Structure 1
Amino acid sequence: MTVPITPLRPEEYRPLPDAGLGALETEKGNLPLESVGVTARITGLVAGVEVVQGFRNPFDVSLEATYVFPLPPRAAVTAFRMEADDRVIDGVLKERGRARADYERALAEGRRAAIAEEDRPDVFTIRVGNIVPGERVTVRLTLSQPLPYEDGAAEFRFPLVVAPRYVPGVPISSPPAGGGVSPDTDAVPDASRITPPVLLPGFPDPVRLSLSAVVDPAGLDLREIRSSLHEVVREGDTISLRPGERLDRDFILRLAFAASSGLALVPDAPPSTTGPKTTAADQAGAAGEGAGDAASPGDAEGTFVLTVVPPSGAEALPAPRDVVLVLDRSGSMSGWKMVAARRAAARIVDTLTARDRFAVLSFDSVVERAFPDGLVEATDRNRYRAVEHLSRLEARGGTEMLAPLEEALRLLAADGSQGRDDPPAGHEAPADRVLVLVTDGQVGNEDEILERAGSRLGDVRVHTVGIDRAVNAGFLGRLALLGTGRCELVESEDRLDEAMEHIHRRIGSPLVTDLSLKPEGLDLVPHTTTHVGSLYPGVPLTVTGRYRGRPSGALTVRGQTVDGRPWETRLDGHPATDTAARAVWARAHLRHLEDRYAVGDRSLEQRIVDTSLRFGVLCRFTAFVAVDTRVTGDGAPRHHVIQPVEIPSGWEMPAAVPMMVAGAPMMAKMASFSQAETGGDATAGAESYGTSPDAPLQVPPGAGGPFAAPPPSAPAAPAPRRRAVGRAFSVDALLPHPGRDRASETDLAGVRPLLAEELTRLRAAESLPERDRRRYLADLASRLRVVVQMLGDHADLAALAADLETAERSDRSLDDLWRRAVDLLERLTGGAGGAGPSGSGERDRGRRAFWKRS
């Protein structure tokens, strides 16, 4: 069978013939990164990848080289190796602080060493130290990644450049955490680790890039392969990049497969081959963790992979929606991205009907509203006004994303489904509350955003549209996951229509909701199953988890269709040999735990470390370290270089921005306000962007840049001064996402403010119509389940939650359930409702950074 490879308008992406790549001539020679090689083997819907990076010391003294680079956000890194001077040193996975200590000790003793760390789900750092003059060192990373599948096609996306990110906040006085160009701030305490210097285009002596992918359909019907952004050649089953391609945009293959439902049961391999090496102390610390309830050492375990194809011929009934569209118009969105973002936003507005309400927020350093009064009816006139507003937007300013997201959540909370006095005819159910974010995601304060907004996403479906050729996919995917929504990545205008069709379907009602799994002859390990979610048209559902015992049994998937009828399908398990399944599940499970940590559950750090070490998968709290036993020098390296990266394809770099050679800051900030924006006060502009008030702005007023397009003609209000690192206590900050996983234990006093707030809300909801009151009790049940988990156990709350889950059934007495809920909450709180997050229960607490500074 011949499978064609169809390029997506390659004339738009063909590199300039004299364009350079990844290296810069300095007074001491070329920069250290010589080559990057990526080899992928795509088997069905999973890809195994090896990344090889070659470094050379061009200097006459010993060198430490640092390279900040991207990997797919869902990839599981399972092995690390350093090769130098005919020596091969396998990396050891350790707790991050211990790995750093081992690395620094080796350098001080004159030994060669390398360390690999994760700074964001899709941003990683490798440091290679004590490279002697003229020596070449190779490091290898092994990883596995699942391929997302929709509408008959899977996508293999491999990022190749870390795009510049806007860094808000006030600089902190601590020594920098890394060697990047942005100072660490209270909002992004590791900004210097994720902001490598950027090369101007056209430099000679490029980094040699090679990338190839071998495609094995694994029994699936492969009909077509499409390449986006890069030119490729095919030899047999191997697709390769043409020579001369640049490290400035994502590599993307779309594979047209015919998917089918199935349940694969993958037994664990023997311990010696299930993961990388760990020390005896690390193994002792990880023993029995189990990523949930631990299995006894004698029990065989494995990973299950469940795939459910949506029912054919089913149609989702329309439902009213409250939609808030948030559009990024910051300077990094200039050029084609701003055009695509406007089109995307306009497409979303056009899909709304008279039964919906909506609001449009656009933001850079300030937030602008298409409608000053919040949500408005989606009439023809209002939709026209919204599209007209969108058509006038141009890129400018900084990416202050937190404020518009909080404003969107406020609108949906204040004007949401409970505010509809007269639901549209035929739609008695409350409206779905939906937030759509259109952005490139290039911010550094992801953890602050998740902490401040993540715990409020439980009742809002969040969809993210990432527009860029090097998009911040990890952050946008985490937002969509917390909001049980969808993340669409758009790398070109050609891809926009297809992505918007997906978002349109997702904003609409799902086909099957309230999905649950019932095992038959299969012993599932508690608290290890990934989120089940709902079934949407054209989107197969994939669920993974852990099981004990023999690889046999079945799973029945049960749910409810949109018209209230029960739905189920039974899938028999079959043994499989998917070597990546265990690692892919572990990475997804770790991501859930990390998101809960970012939202506010600080007790999870040790559990995250233990899970990472047990399953041999790199995460934010662990690191791979490879240390040579041979001494090659007389101490620590004498020279340090952080490898500059390419400007992402499609970005514009102004000539006014000063660039410097290796080892020196390229720029203190790639953003500025004009005199009109700051009122002539340079200090205000520097303050807003996190630079020192005494430091000169790096972009002259009015100059463009990746983060600062020309300012609007009318003066704009300067961004408000950010608060210091200390923050007020909020019970919401401690609450993990409802129903996602097991929460940390506390006592009743710790959750009493939360229960008092629930009591206040419950009393306020007594005047709602019966249907809304029943829905409210059912939602309350999910929140009480989380409280029970936080307490470890509470018989009365658990029993109440179990009964409230049935509140939407007409045969249950609403008044009885309501009275029982009020009585129990009054008894547990002493009747004190109203002490919410801003009430007497509030206390100051410092936010400990998500990452490791030492």
Structure 2
Amino acid sequence: MATLSQISRLPRMLGAVLLLCLQVASVSAESLKGGDVTRGSLVSRDEAGQVAEMPLLDTQVKMTVTGPILRAEVTQTFTNPSDSWSEALYLFPLPNEAAVDHLQMIIGDRIVEGEIKEKEAAKATYEAAKTDGKQAALVEQDRPNLFHTSVANIPPNGKVTIKIEYQQTLVWQDGAFSLRFPLAITPRYAGMTEPARREIKGEISLANGWQVLPGERETRMVNSVDEQSVQGKVAIEVVLQPGFELDYLRSPSHSLEQASDETEQQALSVLIDQSDEYKDFVLNWAPVASAQPRAAFFSEHKNGENYGLLMLMPPQDIDASAVNREVIFVIDTSGSMGGTSMIAAREALKAGINGLSSGDAFNIVEFNSSTSVLHRRAVAASEPNKRRALQFIEQLDADGGTEMRSALEAALSRDDDSRRLRQVIFITDGSVSDERGLFKLINDRLQGTRLFTVGIGSAPNSFFMEEAAVAGHGTFTYIATADEAQTVMENLFDRLAQPALTHIRVAGADVHAVMPTQIPDLYAGEPLAVAMKLESGSQQVEISGRIGDVAWSETLTVQPSDESAGVEMDWAQRAVQDWRRAYLRGESQERMRNAIVELGLKHHLVTPYTSMVAVDKTPVRSAAEPLTSQAVPTAKPHGLQLALAQGATGYQWTLMMGLVLLLVGGGLLIQLRRQAGDSELQA
């Protein structure tokens, strides 16, 4: 029986518990609000953790495409409106294949060039310069598609300009070339089992939730309608020299201003200044039918070595009997898929169901904070089963976290008795933080299954999507809007219905260091693209593989020259990617790291283990002058809806639990008071 003293303490205890729950809910809501990060976030801090806005004046992106090589300059200018010196942290996305090899920092009339160093050494150089009052910049790679710049000692009421240069090699697919420039970052989800290792604004720590780099990097991000006004404009210029007559040139994402001249050079421009335009910029172009590429070879002589880039379209007309398939559709219904992404995902899944043949079998795996399956095992693709699946798809909505591991485990589990060709089609925005662990899971569980990723939304995590497809011996497909879901999924199913080119080898007497070392399977409409080193003079390169049960080989004669700038950089970037995937062939972490460090230092590349640092030798800030904190409010990706109803960081659950505790506690309090009253009456 409760005592009167216990009863008197109970309201205070319940009030404290409820207050704690509501405080956690409030903090988590604030963190979610700050998690909608987009096209770069410039944040800074001082010892007291004070924060002020640093407006982004403008962003200029200049791209030059010559044949398959894209060279880009990304220049962003910020202003410091405060009367004190600042250190800024700048987070920005780039294409997954981007090879960042140049940094320039301009503050006032000072121009500082970057040099490459091992990551730890570069960080130490930067920290020492910051302490000494020198202007400095540091560029680090957090993910292959996400980079981070630190800028020390920005002057009061001054401006800072940061210029990043990168190179990317483009390949044609389905008869067309495509480039993508990310203007937004979809927030990452930290799994429910991951420990809290990261502070937000120096005030709280979260074990779960939507962040850009959970558990890795301190960030402050803001998102509100009022703060959007400080965002500057983004001007994109593209100079396109394709080397062939164009059939079409268009952007499915943005409106273009276009001009051309007699040299077949195309000049394009895009001005982005509206909130619904903050999504990946995509540009597609294709040659006329008579100029469709069959094979291409580019080479460059640099630092005493010959580098080659070979592209070849395998034959597409080899007869092969159709096979029955077991297609497992996996759809992400987590909170980051809210808004237009969920609409596009539903349309993509419906198109996939409608694309099944009568001899196929299928199942649907849905996941957010938990995983569920439509059927206990795959069912025949009959019309009644298809209709039942379409009805199920219509009621799917976005909510909760992105607990992807259990969904992958369910999708990659199979019956040993199944003789069907097994294909997993994974529809998601890839907003996860533990990419490497998921890649290993795919590699370990794959067996004979093939995994195909379908990226959804205005700014999917392309690094995860592409690398998951590589680990799964499949392909990556991108769907930006619901309007294109039908066409894109039809094209994907056309590719999957045809046999892939497998067991690919590229060899030659004087051909070595072919990258990648393990060439992935190729599907219909996909070209072979490999980089290599060659001896001087004419060389023969033999490519072989199997298309279904048919053996195929072709011998090409190539002539190295010194005409194509950027081929050496292409080889180096492919080599870094190849070593980053070393887990696929069982390499040790130490050997992988040493190889990537050597490549980064030799070829002046920012990698996971090498960074670029720029230091002005002359101190500009005295030790007596403090650094203050400044930040750039950022716009969220177009169409992304993260709201209380989705519970992305768990704060909805916390608030609900607080209310439950209040109700239960209130009922318990009433009951205890009744018991106390009865005791007093009995006394």
Quickly name the TM-score band, shorter chain normalised. 0.7 to 0.9
For the Cα contact (< 8 Å) 1:70–1:123, is it kept in 2? yes
Question: Structure 1 108/675 Cα, relative in aligned 2: closer, same or farther at 3 Å?
Answer: closer
Tell me the equivalent position of 1:239: 268
Partner SS for 1:223? strand
For the Cα contact (< 8 Å) 1:166–1:398, is it kept in 2? yes
For the Cα contact (< 8 Å) 1:486–1:503, is it kept in 2? no
Distance 1:579 1:388 in 2: 54
Please identify which structure carries the higher strand content.
2
For residue 261 of structure 1, the aligned residue among 291, 294, 309 is 294
1:609 aligns with 2:597: yes
Report 1:111-126 matches (<5 A): 111-126=134-149
For residue 568 of structure 1, the aligned residue among 553, 565, 568 is 553
For the Cα contact (< 8 Å) 1:23–1:205, is it kept in 2? no
Distance 1:228 1:386 in 2: 30
For the Cα contact (< 8 Å) 1:214–1:238, is it kept in 2? yes
1:550 aligns with 2:536: yes
Question: Structure 1 242/650 Cα, relative in aligned 2: closer, same or farther at 3 Å?
Answer: same
Distance 1:473 1:577 in 2: 31
Q: Give the fraction of aligned pairs with identical amino acids, expressed as a percent.
A: 29
Question: Structure 1 458/220 Cα, relative in aligned 2: closer, same or farther at 3 Å?
Answer: farther
Partner SS for 1:628? strand
Question: Structure 1 235/201 Cα, relative in aligned 2: closer, same or farther at 3 Å?
Answer: farther
For the Cα contact (< 8 Å) 1:259–1:309, is it kept in 2? no
For the Cα contact (< 8 Å) 1:326–1:362, is it kept in 2? yes
Tell me the equivalent position of 1:630: 618
For residue 281 of structure 2, the aligned residue among 251, 255, 265 is 251
Alpha-carbon deviation of 1:628? 0.9
Alpha-carbon deviation of 1:154? 0.9
Q: Mind listing any 5+ residue stretches in structure 1 that lack a counterpart?
A: 1-19, 271-299, 421-429, 658-667, 684-854
Alpha-carbon deviation of 1:342? 1.3
For the Cα contact (< 8 Å) 2:79–2:159, is it kept in 1? yes
Alpha-carbon deviation of 1:28? 8.6
1:79 aligns with 2:79: no
**Structure 1 length as normaliser, TM-score?**
0.65
> Can you list the C-alpha shifts for 1:116-167, whole angstroms capped at 9, x where unaligned?
1111121111111110102222221111112242222111110011122222
Question: Structure 1 485/681 Cα, relative in aligned 2: closer, same or farther at 3 Å?
Answer: farther
Question: Structure 1 265/650 Cα, relative in aligned 2: closer, same or farther at 3 Å?
Answer: closer
Tell me the equivalent position of 1:585: 571
**Structure 2 length as normaliser, TM-score?**
0.81
Distance 1:90 1:248 in 2: 30
Question: Structure 1 540/99 Cα, relative in aligned 2: closer, same or farther at 3 Å?
Answer: same
Question: Structure 1 176/591 Cα, relative in aligned 2: closer, same or farther at 3 Å?
Answer: farther
For the Cα contact (< 8 Å) 1:233–1:239, is it kept in 2? yes
Question: Given residue 611 of structure 1, which amino acid in structure 2 is its aligned partner?
Answer: L
Distance 2:75 2:404 in 1: 35
Tell me the equivalent position of 1:336: 340
Partner SS for 1:55? strand
> Can you list the C-alpha shifts for 1:446-496, whole angstroms capped at 9, x where unaligned?
223223433333532111011111111111110001112111111112332
Question: Given residue 517 of structure 1, which amino acid in structure 2 is its aligned partner?
Answer: V
Alpha-carbon deviation of 1:196? 5.0
Distance 1:159 1:477 in 2: 15
Distance 1:66 1:106 in 2: 15
Distance 1:364 1:178 in 2: 27
Question: Structure 1 50/251 Cα, relative in aligned 2: closer, same or farther at 3 Å?
Answer: same
Question: Structure 1 322/639 Cα, relative in aligned 2: closer, same or farther at 3 Å?
Answer: same
Tell me the equivalent position of 1:440: 429
Distance 1:79 1:396 in 2: 41
Report 1:23-422 matches (<5 A): 30-169=53-192, 172=195, 176=199, 183=206, 190-191=214-215, 193=217, 197-202=221-226, 203-217=228-242, 219-236=243-260, 237-242=266-271, 244-245=273-274, 248-257=278-287, 258-270=291-303, 300-371=304-375, 373-409=376-412, 411-412=413-414, 415=415, 418-420=416-418
Tell me which moved more, 624-633 or 253-262: 253-262
Alpha-carbon deviation of 1:252? 1.0
For residue 594 of structure 1, the aligned residue among 570, 580, 604 is 580
Alpha-carbon deviation of 1:305? 1.5
> Can you list the C-alpha shifts for 1:370-394, whole angstroms capped at 9, x where unaligned?
00x2223333333332222222211
Question: Structure 1 194/498 Cα, relative in aligned 2: closer, same or farther at 3 Å?
Answer: farther
1:476 aligns with 2:500: no
Q: Mind listing any 5+ residue stretches in structure 2 that lack a counterpart?
A: 1-37, 45-49, 261-265, 663-683
The higher relative CO (CA closer than 8 Å, separation ≥ 6) is in: 2
Question: Structure 1 624/180 Cα, relative in aligned 2: closer, same or farther at 3 Å?
Answer: farther
Tell me the equivalent position of 1:618: 606
Question: Given residue 231 of structure 1, which amino acid in structure 2 is its aligned partner?
Answer: S
Distance 1:23 1:679 in 2: 34
Partner SS for 1:228? coil
Report 1:583-732 matches (<5 A): 583-597=569-583, 601-603=588-590, 604-635=592-623, 638-652=627-641, 654=643, 670-674=649-653
Alpha-carbon deviation of 1:567? 2.1
For residue 499 of structure 1, the aligned residue among 488, 493, 513 is 488
Tell me which moved more, 538-547 or 387-396: 538-547
Alpha-carbon deviation of 1:265? 4.8
Alpha-carbon deviation of 1:338? 1.2
Partner SS for 1:151? coil
Distance 2:476 2:218 in 1: 22
Distance 2:297 2:336 in 1: 43
Alpha-carbon deviation of 1:240? 0.5
Question: Structure 1 398/498 Cα, relative in aligned 2: closer, same or farther at 3 Å?
Answer: same
Partner SS for 1:538? coil
Distance 1:467 1:180 in 2: 33
Distance 1:36 1:365 in 2: 37
Tell me the equivalent position of 1:533: 520
> Can you list the C-alpha shifts for 1:36-73, whole angstroms capped at 9, x where unaligned?
11100011222110111212221111101112111000
For the Cα contact (< 8 Å) 1:361–1:369, is it kept in 2? yes
For the Cα contact (< 8 Å) 1:327–1:363, is it kept in 2? yes
Tell me the equivalent position of 1:776: none
Question: Structure 1 491/509 Cα, relative in aligned 2: closer, same or farther at 3 Å?
Answer: same
Question: Given residue 256 of structure 1, which amino acid in structure 2 is its aligned partner?
Answer: A
Question: Structure 1 633/679 Cα, relative in aligned 2: closer, same or farther at 3 Å?
Answer: closer
Distance 1:194 1:401 in 2: 24
Distance 1:438 1:248 in 2: 22
Question: Structure 1 187/226 Cα, relative in aligned 2: closer, same or farther at 3 Å?
Answer: closer
Tell me the equivalent position of 1:9: none
For the Cα contact (< 8 Å) 1:115–1:127, is it kept in 2? yes
Question: Structure 1 330/177 Cα, relative in aligned 2: closer, same or farther at 3 Å?
Answer: closer
Alpha-carbon deviation of 1:647? 0.9
For the Cα contact (< 8 Å) 1:249–1:649, is it kept in 2? yes
For the Cα contact (< 8 Å) 2:197–2:205, is it kept in 1? no
For the Cα contact (< 8 Å) 2:355–2:493, is it kept in 1? yes
Question: Given residue 638 of structure 1, which amino acid in structure 2 is its aligned partner?
Answer: L
- Aligned pair count reads 605
Distance 1:36 1:559 in 2: 45
For the Cα contact (< 8 Å) 1:117–1:622, is it kept in 2? yes
Distance 2:202 2:463 in 1: 22
